[in-house]
Structure 1
Amino acid sequence: MRKALIIGIDYYDHLDLLTGCVNDAFAVRATVERNSDGTLNFPSPQVMTGTNAERRVLKRDLKEAARKLFADDSDIALFYFAGHGYIEDTGGFLCASDSETGDDGLSLAELMQLANKSRSRNKVIILDSCHSGAVGSSATTSGLAEISDGVTILTASTAEQESYETPGGGAGVFTSLFVDALNGAAANLVGDITPGSVYAHIDQSLGPWAQRPVFKTNVKTFVSLRRSEPPIALADLQALTTHFPSPDSKFQLDPSFEPERSPGEEDDDSIPPPDPARTAVFAVLQRYVKVNLVRPVDAPHMWHAAMQSKSCELTVLGQHYWSLVNKGLI
């Protein structure tokens, strides 16, 4: 069982109005509900949005929804919040529509208490709000994190920073990158998207002078937040150990592997004609090259490697996946 609570608040009774948080919430919902192949991922995620005075997210409702999310033994409990954040010397807060001063919202300490005590096997907290990096840190002891086993936190900014919207508004910078990551930008070669790969994507996309995302975790293994279409077929990936008997072996090529010929080479008897069985293998090798698993040796491209009877070899990434296949982990 995978549960998701998604909150976006633009409307505030007493604080400045926002413009992109509701859009962010619906974008996250549209992405996480199903995997890229249409299968259910987080079935029927609960979405709470504060859009106007008639439709608000109240403090009591925000806290109660968080309590229900973490109340059972789900496989994953995902909490996403976009809205105002507030910090003072006693800690940080997530502001509801009826928050008056900021420090009267859902405290990050309360949120962490709910997550830390939850029986859910994986608790994932995603915050796109100012000062959200304070979550999971002790308000009384500097540098001390308070994260129990199975908890992962990803925030838009540090405790000292604000969280910004994209130019023109309408979406958060962090959430836009988060959604891109879930849509496949952070997928590994089998299509899994983990909190770690999401953070890596966001971290690389934000410059050193921009808001800095924060990643905190206490897990033994990463859970997959979503599955996307893998960039290479599983059967091809599992064939790595067939084509390369060892991680440092080289695959010898010759012109019979290459189906294409340059003008004038078709009638050159010194060049072996294409062999259908070998060209099929060569097509797999070229797919490896596209995802950085294989590279030609002493040749700029695979075509040159084949036509000049050179070889190809596994890259460092290719050796990593070779090892995973060899151990039966893929």
Structure 2
Amino acid sequence: MRRALLVGIDHYDHQRPLTGCVNDATALQPLLARNEDSTKNLDCRLLTGAVTRNDLLGGVRALLAGGADFAVLYFAGHGTPVDGDVALVTSDGQGETPGVLFAEVLTIARKSQVKEIVVILDCCFSGGAGTVAALTEAAVLRSGMSILTASRGDQYSAEAGGRGLFSTHLEGALEGGAADVLGHVTVAGLYAYVSECFDAWEQRPTFKANVDRLHDLRRCEPSVPLPTLHKLLEWFPDPAHHYRLDPTYEPDKSQSGLDPHPAHEEIFDQLQKCRANKLVEPVDHQHMYFAAMESGSCRLTPLGRHYWQMAKRGTL
């Protein structure tokens, strides 16, 4: 079973209110609940509005209780540094008890039987989560845990237009911006995507992980169909092979006087999809069109050779 708890807190009794956290959690919920093809993904719960310390701790305990093998915790709200740790500030937080220390979340996670846990923190100073000081019992995260944060431990996280900037980029990543060729979206892919959305003067997302494999946070439509990736073995008998082209592959033969060749045109269409995804490139030509019309060839790129090897090993 796969679960997600999405927390968004705008209301605070003793701190300035926020305006985008509930919007952030609400916007991400449908993306995590369903894959792009509308199949069920994560069983999501929203925790928004006035959220007390007890509410948050209870929600985290329920999320990481038995019966699930994958869990996602998303928190959007105030964060505050506390002795090298970060506190996830709750609506009733004040003084010496600002909310839930991330060390408390880690303690619950260490005792959990959930195999993979992903924590996404969209709050100020969130990079303090998972530091050596916060890890208390060990200097490493528990096995199967990943932490993605909106900023470093010494930075604020910005809001604009009723949304957090980090969560807005996160939404684009989940919609497919962070998907690989096969449509898999993982937490590592999210980090690679959102880290490029901020420049050197802005907040810097951080990523910490102790995993031996990454599970999908969401699945999107593959940019190259799986049967096409398997065809790479047929078109390229070895990774260094050059696949020969000629004008019969190009659908537009109006100037060549050649008859249609549906089989070659279908192959060329699939090769063009591979070209668009940087798996295949023309040899000594800028475009695949000219490689075909001038009887040139195409070859696998380094990324294409990677997927060729995966197809060869049967791991696609």
- TM-score, normalising length from structure 2? 0.96
Could you say which residue in structure 2 is the equivalent of 1:226? 218
- TM-score, normalising length from structure 1? 0.92
Q: Does 1:189 align with 2:175?
A: no
Given the alignment, which residue of 85, 99, 106 partners 2:79? Answer: 85
CA shift for structure 1 position 275: 2.1
Contact 2:274 2:280 in 1 (8 A): yes
Could you say which residue in structure 2 is the equivalent of 1:295? 281
Contact 1:76 1:123 in 2 (8 A): yes
Could you say which residue in structure 1 is the equivalent of 2:48? 49
Given the alignment, which residue of 64, 68, 72 partners 2:66? Answer: 72
Contact 1:85 1:102 in 2 (8 A): no
Contact 2:280 2:299 in 1 (8 A): yes
Q: 2:91 aligns to what SS in structure 1?
A: coil
Q: Does 1:235 align with 2:227?
A: yes
* Aligned amino acid, residue 223 of structure 1: H
CA shift for structure 1 position 262: 5.5
Given the alignment, which residue of 104, 123, 126 partners 2:120? Answer: 126
% identical equivalent positions: 43
In the TM superposition, what are the counterparts of 1:91-170 in structure 2 within 5 Å? 91-101=85-95, 103-139=97-133, 145-166=139-160, 169-170=161-162
Q: Deviations over 1:179-219 (max 9, x none)?
A: 11111100011111011111000111111111000100000
Given the alignment, which residue of 307, 310, 313 partners 1:324? Answer: 310
Contact 1:71 1:118 in 2 (8 A): yes
d(CA) in 2 for partners of 1:87, 1:102: 12
Contact 1:255 1:306 in 2 (8 A): yes
The verdict on how the C-alpha distance between 1:63 and 1:141 changes in structure 2, with shifts beyond 3 A counting, is closer
Aligned residues: 315
CA shift for structure 1 position 274: 3.7
Contact 2:233 2:311 in 1 (8 A): yes
Q: Which has the larger radius of gyration?
A: 1
Could you say which residue in structure 1 is the equivalent of 2:245? 253
In the TM superposition, what are the counterparts of 1:11-22 in structure 2 within 5 Å? 11-22=11-22
The verdict on how the C-alpha distance between 1:88 and 1:163 changes in structure 2, with shifts beyond 3 A counting, is same
5+ long unaligned stretches in structure 1: 51-55, 267-271
d(CA) in 2 for partners of 1:66, 1:141: 17
Could you say which residue in structure 1 is the equivalent of 2:263? 277
Contact 1:95 1:102 in 2 (8 A): no
Could you list the structure 1 runs, at least 4 aligned residues long, displaced by more than 3 angstroms after superposition: none
CA shift for structure 1 position 132: 0.8
CA shift for structure 1 position 59: 1.0
Q: 1:152 aligns to what SS in structure 2?
A: strand
d(CA) in 1 for partners of 2:110, 2:123: 21
